[in-house]
Structure 1
């Protein structure tokens, strides 16, 4: 595995994300939710650089290559003022999968969020059948919490999800 780094998204990264992740093959079985308008993300990039108080996107790099992206957004388990946390997601280009890139990128994202926000909890969800991502999350320091039944609509049917989390070390 080459050195994994995270950095803000550059304009050229958007074309790579669209080409790699906006098709059933590129998105993969667990991330294909149908076609979407790329213009929405391009507008958000023009407005905020895909970094805001409520979430963001960073580019995952290995060496000089764009390997994928990590995203985060606010969720809550009660009143948002007092009970918010980050939910994270990741997409790694097929050529970089299976090499530990996703594990390291998620570990770095958690560190980044704990260093630069007041969040106490970072959580991630993955399909109950996505064993590779479950292993990656556990290697990145997440703990499995449980199954959320039929929580995600994808491919014409409901899918169970597993929730994982990591808490700020005090």
Structure 2
């Protein structure tokens, strides 16, 4: 179980709990927000809560709710998926009211620093839909290298999609 709490200048990343589904549902149910995800929008708070914090636990990863200061409603979700051999995949979602205000960049930077400095992670990557301009800019701004495009890598709720793979090594210059 994830018990790690991380802090940036403006935000706290705390372990995700089922109750966070209430604050995050408007974003996870919004077709525009979920456009580039591997699945379509969620239809209920219960469905989202079970996906965010499954009863059986989440063996391959951890997720955090992003909140202002140390408490308050969730305004984002950050996730790390352990791929083995010191490799982790990142995923994130920011509620629309906070998009474009630096939340994802600030909190991912803290999470990346923690993974490299404290968890012996040697490689971090993100798999981003080729047309998700905001996320592609985000990972580039964090110092990730665009490693390639996987053509028709995934079939999603909007059809077959190409993925951009962004990678960052522990030996790369830090942001």
The normalised TM-score by structure 1 is 0.78
Q: Which residue of 2 aligns with 1:33?
A: 39
**For 2:128, what is the secondary structure of its paired residue?**
strand
In the alignment, structure 1 residue 15 sits paired with structure 2 residue 25: no
Measured after TM superposition, the shift of residue 153 of structure 1 is 1.6
Flag the 1:144–1:105 CA change in 2: closer, same or farther, 3 A: same
Q: Which runs of 4+ in 1 moved over 6 A?
A: none
Query: How far 1:155 sits from its partner (Å)?
Result: 3.0
Q: For residues 61-81 of structure 1, what are the alpha-carbon distances to aligned partners after superposition, in whole Å with 9 as ceiling and x for unaligned?
A: 234552200111122xxxx5x
Could you tell me which residue of structure 2 aligns to residue 59 of structure 1?
Answer: 65
Question: 8 Å contact 2:19–2:49 — kept in the other structure?
Answer: no
Distance apart, 1:150 and its partner CA: 0.7
Gapped regions of structure 1 (runs ≥ 5) = none
In structure 2, what is the equivalent of residue 90 of structure 1? 92
Which is richer in helix?
Answer: 1
1:24 touches 1:32 (CA, 8 Å); kept in 2? no
Structure 2 residue ranges without an equivalent (≥5): 1-8
Aligned length: 158
